[in-house]
């Protein structure tokens, strides 16, 4: 039995950041992780491996569709799936080993195994019980189940199985037109799979700006993805040679069946708290199974905190990192605050989709007067040279004060460009502040400045 200032349960982006930050601030820290490698879902079976596959298949798409137009002649590359998976595994390995290195560097003990909390100040891992002044639950999330759809991770898969399919399927049905469904759907569509996305609502990516969602749906269709919206999946039936997915269209209750080879279930995630002994320890939860915390991440039990996907808020790796960083600072007696209105969201498809702050829909709902400055990437020289003219930047600013309220980008490197606006918003900037800031030419970011100009007197290039 060992005694620590802090034991973090889970080594995903929330947990490892919290552990490292706390160690940097002088605490004696341990982190419990039951997987063979550190990094949680994000590094092992989520963000990182999916980005490897998105990158590889984007290169393939470029070779197939744009190389000849640039005078790069020759046959498009042939896909060696095993090699692509090996590249993905190598990317994971480099990242998980990186966290292991950081743990050693910061003298953080990795307690290998699955943790439970037998009581305040105690964490049990295997047969050992450790003591800690502070315990942080950062155990993440798991794919939500859907009635009538039984996951086997081979034919009916979650994102985990979708990252390691034995072969590239001819057909794939994706249930859920959210982030996972569209990122993984894009990967397989580029690999030649006939992908059909079935979404319950009447539009894709609920919560995103409506205009972005509409443009995105059009682009995905152009890329060959079939999208069925307003459809409720009734169930799946795995047969010897095919799998049937049955759904009803909500507008007329008509019943439909679609044959496929693989089904990806991507209808959301739920907190993963199995085995922690939350009920026995008396740790309160919300009706949706999230651990209840206050603004300082405190649960209903003294000395036990929770961060990341197990608590309320967007289930995003960087939001979990923000939680973990802030909590470690608080535990060390420092001031810390996270502005959850300024957590950007990114979908890593091609083109990327990124947003921060309010959407037009939410501003209308709030009755808040606003102005929208929108420019197309068609007016951006750099984007045109790279066949990336489809898409736009939309900046939303307060009608009276010009303060930036939100931004929505669909286009090249949107996920990187969004941070300029996020920082500006953090400083309470106006659209004019961005419009007056020099932006290098030729860059994609010029479109952000043009959108800011569009909130005022108007852009130069449109």
Catalytic residue positions? 441
Closest CA to 9 of 27, 34, 37, 26: 34
Residues facing residue 57 across a β-bridge: none
Question: By CB under 6 A, is residue 266 in contact with ligand NAI?
Answer: yes
How far apart are CB 304 and ligand NAI at their closest, in Å? 24
Question: By CB under 6 A, is residue 268 in contact with ligand NAI?
Answer: yes
The strand pair at 171-175 and 141-143 is best described as unpaired
Q: Of residues 132, 146, 434, 448, which one binds ligand NAI by CB under 6 A?
A: 146
Considering beta carbons, is residue 115 or 187 the nearer one to ligand NAI? 187
How far apart are CB 178 and ligand NAI at their closest, in Å? 2
Are the CB atoms for 273 and 289 separated by under 8 Å? yes
Question: By CB under 6 A, is residue 54 in contact with ligand NAI?
Answer: no
Residues facing residue 93 across a β-bridge: none
How far apart are CB 40 and ligand NAI at their closest, in Å? 13
Question: How many residues line the site for ligand NAI (CB under 6 A)?
Answer: 25
Closest CA to 224 of 78, 393, 350: 350
Task: Give the span between the Cα atoms of 176 and 178, in whole angstroms.
Answer: 6
For ligand NAI, the nearest residue by Cβ is 178
Question: By CB under 6 A, is residue 200 in contact with ligand NAI?
Answer: yes
Q: Alpha carbon of 183 to those of 158, 188, 205, 344: distances in Å?
A: 13, 9, 11, 17
Considering beta carbons, is residue 344 or 459 the nearer one to ligand NAI? 344
Question: By CB under 6 A, is residue 289 in contact with ligand NAI?
Answer: no
Considering beta carbons, is residue 77 or 148 the nearer one to ligand NAI? 148
Q: Choose the binding region for ligand NAI from 123-131, 320-328, 343-351, 400-408 (rule: CB under 6 A).
A: 343-351
Closest CA to 373 of 401, 350, 397: 397
The secondary structure of 241-281 as a DSSP string is S-EEEEEEETTT--EEEEEESEEEE-S-EEE--TTS-HHHH
Question: By CB under 6 A, is residue 110 in contact with ligand NAI?
Answer: no
Question: By CB under 6 A, is residue 199 in contact with ligand NAI?
Answer: yes
Q: Choose the binding region for ligand NAI from 19-27, 64-72, 173-181, 188-196 (rule: CB under 6 A).
A: 173-181
The secondary structure of 137-176 as a DSSP string is E---EEEPPBTTB---SSSEE-HHHHTT-SS--SEEEEE-
Q: Choose the binding region for ligand NAI from 92-100, 196-204, 209-217, 405-413 (rule: CB under 6 A).
A: 196-204
Q: Of residues 39, 181, 351, 406, which one binds ligand NAI by CB under 6 A?
A: 181
Are the CB atoms for 181 and 264 separated by under 8 Å? yes
Is the previous residue joined to 145 through a cis bond, with omega within 30 degrees of 0? Answer: no
How far apart are CB 377 and ligand NAI at their closest, in Å? 21
How far apart are CB 127 and ligand NAI at their closest, in Å? 34
In angstroms, what is the C-alpha Rg of the chain? 23
Query: Which residues are at the interface with ligand NAI (CB under 6 A)?
Result: 146, 175-181, 183, 198-201, 206, 232-233, 266-269, 315-316, 346-348
């Amino acid at each position: 039995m060992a005694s620590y200032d802090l034991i973090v349960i889970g080594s995903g982006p929330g947990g490892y950041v919290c552990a490292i930050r706390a160690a940097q601030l002088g605490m004696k820290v341990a982190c419990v992780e039951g997987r063979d490698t550190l990094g949680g879902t994000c590094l092992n079976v989520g963000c990182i491996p999916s980005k490897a596959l998105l990158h590889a298949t984007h290169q393939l798409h470029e070779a197939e569709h744009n190389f000849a137009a640039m005078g790069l002649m020759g046959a498009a590359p042939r896909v060696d799936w095993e090699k692509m998976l090996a590249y993905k595994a190598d990317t994971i390995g480099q990242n998980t080993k990186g966290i292991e290195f950081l743990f050693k560097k910061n003298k953080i003990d990795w307690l290998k195994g699955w943790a439970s909390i037998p009581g305040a100040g105690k964490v049990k891992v295997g047969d050992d019980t450790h003591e800690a002044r502070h315990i942080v639950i950062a155990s993440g999330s798991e794919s939500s189940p859907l009635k009538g759809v039984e996951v086997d991770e081979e034919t009916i898969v979650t994102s985990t199985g979708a990252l390691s399919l034995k072969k590239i399927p001819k057909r794939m049905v994706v249930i859920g037109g959210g982030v996972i469904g569209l990122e993984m759907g894009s990967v397989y569509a580029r690999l030649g799979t006939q992908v059909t996305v079935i979404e319950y609502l009447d539009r894709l990516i609920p919560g995103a700006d409506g205009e972005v969602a509409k443009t995105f749906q059009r682009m995905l269709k152009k890329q060959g993805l079939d999208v069925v919206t307003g459809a409720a999946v009734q169930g799946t039936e795995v047969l010897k040679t095919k799998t049937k997915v049955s759904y009803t269209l909500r507008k007329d209750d008509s019943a439909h069946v679609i044959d496929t080879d693989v089904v990806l279930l991507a209808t959301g995630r739920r907190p993963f708290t199995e085995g922690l002994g939350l009920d026995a320890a008396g740790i309160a939860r919300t009706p949706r199974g999230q651990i209840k915390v206050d603004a300082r991440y405190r649960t209903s039990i003294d000395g036990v905190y929770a961060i990341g996907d197990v608590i309320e808020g967007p289930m995003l790796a960087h939001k979990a990192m923000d939680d973990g960083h802030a909590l470690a600072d608080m535990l060390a007696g420092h001031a810390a605050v996270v502005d959850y209105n300024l957590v950007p969201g990114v979908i890593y498809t091609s083109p990327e989709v990124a947003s921060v702050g309010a959407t037009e829909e939410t501003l209308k709902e709030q009755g808040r007067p606003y102005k929208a400055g929108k420019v197309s990437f068609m007016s951006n020289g750099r984007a045109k040279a790279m066949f990336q003219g489809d898409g736009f930047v939309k900046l939303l600013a307060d009608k009276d004060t010009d303060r930036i309220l939100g931004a929505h980008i669909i286009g090249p490197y949107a996920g990187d460009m969004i941070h300029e606006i996020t920082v500006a918003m953090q400083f309470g900037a106006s659209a004019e502040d961005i419009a007056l800031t020099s932006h290098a030419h030729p860059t994609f970011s010029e479109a952000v400045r043009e959108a800011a100009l569009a909130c005022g007197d108007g852009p130069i290039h449109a």
